[in-house]
Every structure is written in structure tokens, then in C-alpha cells.
Structure 1
């Protein structure tokens, strides 16, 4: 499978919480868990059960970045990955910032150059990649 989404994190389904219309799938990737809020139809079609291999897919434009090394407990986004800025590539208006998290995986965000400057996002700086569960797609082989 080839797709344009920069963030493709392979792991194993750790839990599935079923709801009437949507469910929350938790995928264990290294030392981290990623939560995805998807439809029950998708959960059943993909055969998502505990122990199944799955890939969390996140578009770079859906990744927010906070400066610093601490999770933010006062926002609704459940997926927060503290790490270190590994790479910054600026374009004419927007840039890409790759955050390396504890297990060596990287999460890339597409943000404005202004945000890169304002947050002091330079290689080696502490940062947190933040993703809402509704922005995480799930794929299986």
C-alpha cells in the first residue's frame, strides 16, 4: 500500500471499545498507544480485535505541535507524544517538523513557518506531537 500520509505507525491492536456508531481502537506502537475513533462498521470490516497487527495513519496536516516536553492535560486530544525535534524543513509559507519520540519513531507535522519560529522549533528542541483520535486512520494488511 502506498499513500501520501507521512505518518504510518505499525503496531498491534491493544483494545477495542465498542459504541453504538463509533468505537475507539487503541494501537500499541513501541512504548506508546495511539487511539483512533472510527466507525463500528470499519472496525468490523477490518477485523480489528486485540492482538491484530494494524497501522495508525496520520496526515502531517493533522498533527499539532506544542513546545516543551510535557503532555498537556487541559486539551481533549488523547494522542500526545513528547519527543525531540529531529528535523525542520521550511518551505515558502509552511514547513515540516519531525518529532522523534521515545522509541525512535518519528511523527511529522505540517505547520506554518511562523509557528516554527514562534515555538522555537529547532533540531534538538523538546516538543510534543498532538493528534485527535478522530484524525487517526487505521489500516491492516
Structure 2
């Protein structure tokens, strides 16, 4: 059995789908400090500032691309959110080019709630 944990970022919220056992073992309670860990390869991107309609992923974070660094096959896209936090994603160089992702441009980071790990201090 799972539960949904919402992590407030100020202007946005990250939702994590985790087991009730994990919620209990972490001692999660409403209002307590927590953080999200997301593997870079689990972050998808869409160009522009519009959220995608009719998609099953619960997390769509709108921001501005801070940097794009292409590697041999994959590249890293760093997205700055309005609250000052950042999301780093790893996608193929081909996807970077096809989407036209460039520093200074708006983009949406898309993350499934099942790909979010919740941590506490």
C-alpha cells in the first residue's frame, strides 16, 4: 500500500509515491522538513513554459534552463525553478537538439512520482 508525500518548494510541489511503511519509518508528518532525491536519468524535459496535458507523470516543474552540457551521447540540462532550487536531468544529445533546449529558455521538468525518493534530516 502506498501514500503520496508532497514536498513544498514554495512556487511548486514535488509529489512522491512511496510505501506507507516508508512514511512510518521516516516519521513523516505534515509540515516537517524533507527533501527529494531524483536520479538525473529519470527527469524528462519539454521545451516552453506550458505544462503537458493528459500525462500520467504527477510532477511538472516549470523553470528556466540555466545550463546545457552535451557529452559524447548524453547531456545534462540544469533547470532553475522560481524558488531558487534546481533540477538536473540527463537526456540524449539528440533530445536536447530536437527540443531546442538552450540556456535562458523556459522548460518543464517532468518526473513520475514513483521516481522520487524522500529523505529527512
Q: TM-score if structure 2 supplies the norm length?
A: 0.97
Find the counterpart in structure 1 of residue 119 from structure 2. Answer: 139
Higher relative contact order (CA closer than 8 Å, sequence separation 6+) = 2
The Cα shift of 1:30 comes to 2.3
Find the counterpart in structure 2 of residue 97 from structure 1. Answer: 77
Asked if 1:68 corresponds to 2:48, the answer is: yes
Find the counterpart in structure 2 of residue 58 from structure 1. Answer: 38
Q: TM-score if structure 1 supplies the norm length?
A: 0.83
SS of corresponding position for 2:98: helix
Asked if 1:81 corresponds to 2:65, the answer is: no
CA RMSD of aligned residues (A): 0.8
How many pairs does the alignment contain?
Answer: 121
Take 1:28 and 1:83, find their aligned partners in 2: how far apart are those partners? Answer: 16
Map Cα deviations across residues 75-115 of structure 1 (whole Å, 9 max, x no partner): 01111011111001110000000111111211011000000
Structure 1: 5+ residue stretches without partners: 1-20
Asked if 1:42 corresponds to 2:18, the answer is: no
SS of corresponding position for 1:53: coil
